[in-house]
Structure 1
Amino acid sequence: MRQLLEYGWFSLLAYPLLAFAYWQLAVAPPLPFVLLASGYGLLLWAGFYHHYRHVADTPTATTGAAAQGYTECHGEAAAPAGHPLLTPYGKMRCLWYHAECRYQGRDYGHPASEQHRSDDVFRLLDHRGEVCVYPAGALVESRHRASWHHGDYQYTERWIAAGDPLYVLGELRGGGQRLQRDDYRADLQLTLNEWKADQRGLLRRFDSDGDGHISPQEWESARQAAHQQVQSLHRELHAAPQGSQLQRPADGRPFIISWRKPHDTARRLQRLAWSHAAVATLAALHSVKLLLH
């Protein structure tokens, strides 16, 4: 679901694509396409509206006055100490990136695509102080995007740069606090749920025999990898110096990172929700009309 939400306005392109598919397959009855459009619209309406309500209903706090728990902060993105982060293909200096390489040649035995996403910590600064942001598991809307072709490959990168406006809605925890066993279990389950939702990525990483399915042995390998990822995150949290961290909520509530202001983020999510609701409603009415005839 997070992958669909990250497409933003591009998620609306599914409707003309469905219409084009029906036009290409004119011999097929229209009802399955209409029902598919209605179901897709309802799914995306529910997701965007759920996120909109949390953004709209959570007051913005300054870093110096924010209470621990579910909160939102707005400020400026800043780099942590250490080596600069670079995007994998364009080598752009950044704080966070999502990169994808798609093969567009004619060799069908070639992997279709590969994706990379950074989970390195960065900082949010405002006039009252700073917090560390751990972006693992976040729905991210970045300000910068680049796409280009090279040979049979298309490269696409999105990234957050130092100095960008930064809005984060997530769980605020105190620096260096002792995490509980329940926190670990919740983070592990959220990680596994995200991996299961991205079946293509799951197969790419763990389908070692290439049969297109995850066997019990391969799933155990995925579980071990998830354990290692969560353990690494918790070690960073334990070792964190003074200050606080904004991270993925353990209870599954939305974790959002954006370059927009809080009000603009809420308004964008609201418009996306009702756009999908409108199309889903029209498709549902049309499906009823087709059934009655």
Structure 2
Amino acid sequence: MAAPFRSTATACLRRPLIAATRPVLLPRPESHHAAAATRAPSPRWHSTSSSSSTSSSVNPDEVSHFNALAADWWDPHGSSRLLHLMNPLRHDFINACLASQPEPRPSSLTYLDIGCGGGIFAESAARLPSTSRVTAIDPTPSVLAVARAHARKDPGLAAKLSYRQCSVEELDVPTPGYDVVSVFEVIEHIDHPAAFLDKVRPFVRPGGWLVMSTIARTWMSWFTTNLVAEDLLRIVPPGTHDWNKYINEDELRRYFMDKGWNSPRVMGVVYVPGVGWREVRGSEKVGNYFFAVRRDFES
């Protein structure tokens, strides 16, 4: 998430960095949670009551958190440095999804970026010659103001990129939908991920892709994202991530099964200090990863 819908899918990703160190002793994830992390789905996946399916996916606490981080979103060495470093891999992953299609890739693509934050991905997508339109949404006013102000510096973006301050529940579904719907660093900040993904589905056109990034719920991810990144190195603001909201790859696969989706793809990624983000096969089982599915044509 971006922003209030958003999080990191890249643990340290979407959330900003601050450089400083201080030793801190943190409570560990409850042992029964850790033991069950790779065995059973989080109870949140069963939260599909009528109330959760009709209410907003936006968490007010997340909005407040990201409002406070808006100022240096576009500083490549500031609090969002890891997001800037991750952005090329986002495009690599989307290109791999599109290249896997049996039919020719569309010559002109439309994007919906949910939880766009300051617009790092949305702007880069709009600059691609193969892009016809990018709609980017986020409920965090200060962060979205930063995104709009930065986009105005490039008049060439005006015809291809539009920002809206809203949640996905407030957005009209176009016909036939978008070619690519991105949900980067968002879903691990959602209280009811299954209900949220149900709402996102209509925005993906039949044959289009839903791409996202998030974090596996393991001891390793708690150690790297909560203890090291947030509390020891302070490269991510404390309180950015809730380990209990992390999502394992098998949970996503089970959710999308028999729901009108096909061709699931995954790419595990690891942040290497001094080098950047790199694809590492199998790392989706322990930490940050990308995940994508394609909507069935008949759905």
| Higher-Rg member (1/2) | 1
What is the TM-score when the length of structure 1 is the normalising length? 0.28
**More strand as a share of residues:** 1
Name the one with the larger helix percent: 1
TM-score under structure 2 normalisation? 0.28
